Structure 1
Amino acid sequence: MKTRISLISAAALLALALPALAEGTVDTSSWNQGGGEQDEALHLTPNHENGIEVYEVCSACHQLNGWGLEDGTFPQIAGQHKDVIIKQLADIRALNRDNPTMYPFALPSEIGGAQSIADVAEYISKLPMNPNNGKGPGTNLALGEQLYKDNCVRCHGAEGEGDDAKFYPRIQGQHFNYLMRQYEWIKTGKRRNANPDMVQQIQGFTDADTEAVLDYVSRLKPPAELVAAPDWVNPDFE
């Protein structure tokens, strides 16, 4: 518990030191630079036991099950593609993605080097997903479905399954409120490692469009074999 409290305190302090991007500026040059820890971790053999140990640090925010919080403060990461997790962790550590809250937790001094990235990414990818993620209001799902089919399927797949090989994340089963926040950050350029094709594609979306399509996405269901029972508790931390 003391370790988690100290990490949270560090997060508040280090957040002040991180570079900020001006609102409204769209800089997508860091979308997928590769190299460094990303490339190294992608080619390492994961160690399951170390993955458990590293994940204990992550669980302070993402919860022991990896299900995050329905209010969207922290996303569900359980079941996310391994290579997507590796990319995002490496980007945060290299400051290609601004995440002041997570940055202190992801530092090599806290979780280790590229091997630990590979280990925890594999571990998280195998966690069963939340069967009851946070949903949107459900008021304009027909529009949301059409927008999704017209704009999102090419990368995220018909069911929101994503594509690990291309670093497109799984978005099925994600909390609506988290989707809304990330969408705004992608659109305005605050999330600098977003795919530039997506940044450009969503510029014309109205607020109503955004809510409708992400409401629809929040209702896309992962395959049954990836989903936990509602009362599932991570046995690695019992």
Structure 2
Amino acid sequence: MWLFHRGAVLLATALFSSGLIAEETMTVELTFTPDLNNGRNVYETCASCHLPEGWGSSDGAYPQIAGQHQQVLLKQLLDIRDGHRENSIMYPFVQERTIGGYQSLVDVVTYITRMPMHPRHKQGPFSDFSDEYKQGEQLYQKHCASCHGAEGGGNDKTRTPKLYGQHYPYVLRQIDLIRKELRSVDPVMKGGVDQLSPEELMMIVNYVSWIEVPEGEKAPSANWRNTDFY
């Protein structure tokens, strides 16, 4: 009985916390009009790790953030700043004394959202001809598509991230952190991860990494450079 009560309290706390962040995210987005010039200036700090193009690193140390949904980016920055997501590297950079207030947050995420994705992000080891890919597709459509979309496009309004275009090692690492309870996420996401084996999760992440980025959202070539910084 005590265990049930404790679990219910933890779930309620998680839901309440995620609800507050969602409300803050929406309020901030609706209150401030984006200033892309300031967004570019703020992003200069981000570019040292995420690159001027926002493409991150293929080894998964830094995610591709270019082209991600605006509310997703805003929520992640607020989560880290407010201590709801553990990220010791990012934490100093999202504080008001470093990045500025809400206005600067809106400016920089709007700037990032408009950047094209890498046309050749790091993919998983199993191509679309493999059994692992096919199993991953089936598992994804069964367990993930209802929130992240059949093609991994996510949803800006629900703050559900795009999965296509993200580096395979990065997504795999995030899933492992969630599974080990080292990263806090929505209870629905945590429940979905918990019911799958590490092998099944790997096949899902592999499948997602092979989903093609839509033509209108990716750079014309891997040699494209963000001229704001060159």
Which of the five TM-score ranges fits, normalised by the shorter chain?
Answer: 0.7 to 0.9
User: Any unmatched runs of 5+ in structure 1?
Assistant: 1-24
Matched, 1:82 2:70: yes
Q: Distance in 1 between matches of 2:213 and 2:22?
A: 31
After superposition, the C-alpha distances for 1:134-168 in whole angstroms (9 at most, x for unaligned) are 11110510110000010010010011100000000
For residues 207 and 169 of structure 2, the distance between their equivalents in structure 1, rounded to whole angstroms, comes to 12
Partner of 2:157: 165
TM-score (norm. length: structure 2): 0.88
Identity of aligned residues (%): 40
CA deviation after TM superposition for structure 1 residue 40, in Å: 4.1
The structure-2 alpha-carbon separation of the partners of 1:179 and 1:32, relative to structure 1 and needing over 3 Å to count, comes to farther
Q: In the TM superposition, what are the counterparts of 1:135-214 in structure 2 within 5 Å? A: 135-138=123-126, 140-192=132-184, 194-214=185-205
Q: Which residue of 1 aligns with 2:6?
A: none
Please state whether the residue corresponding to 2:112 is helix, strand or coil. Answer: helix
Number of the residue aligned with 1:16: none
Residue of structure 2 equivalent to 1:112: 100
Change (3 A) 1:158 1:35: closer
Q: CA deviation at 1:37?
A: 5.4
Deviation at 1:204, TM superposition (A): 2.3
Matched with 2:40 is 52
Structure-2 separation of matches of 1:60 and 1:32 = 32
Selected match of 1:222 from 198, 213, 222: 213
Amino acid at match of 1:221: E
Task: Tell me the distance in 2 between the aligned counterparts of 1:93 and 1:36.
Answer: 15
Cα deviations by residue, 1:74-108 (Å, 9 ceiling, x for unpaired): 00000000011111111111111111111111111
> Which has the larger helix fraction?
2
Q: 1-side partners of 2:177 and 2:227: how far apart? A: 35
TM-score, normalised with respect to structure 1: 0.85
Deviations 1:112-146 (A, max 9, x none): 00000000010000000001111111051011000
Distance in 2 between residues matched to 1:213 and 1:36, nearest whole Å: 30
Which fold has the larger relative contact order, with Cα–Cα distance below 8 Å and residues 6 or more apart in sequence? 1
Contact 2:153 2:161 in 1 (8 A): yes
Counterparts of 1:225 and 1:177 in 2: how far apart (Å)? 25
Task: Name the Cα RMSD after superposition.
Answer: 1.7
CA distance in 1, matches of 2:22, 2:67: 25
Q: Number of aligned pairs?
A: 213
How far did residue 217 of structure 1 move? 0.4
Measured at CA, do residues 178 and 55 of structure 1 come closer, stay the same or move farther in structure 2, by a change above 3 Å?
same
- Equivalents in 2 of 1:68, 1:46: separation in Å? 23
- Pairing of 1:18-29 with structure 2 (within 5 A): 28-29=14-15
SS in 2 for 1:31: helix
Question: Post-superposition shift, 1:38?
Answer: 2.8
In 1, are the aligned partners of 2:29 and 2:106 still within 8 Å (CA)? yes
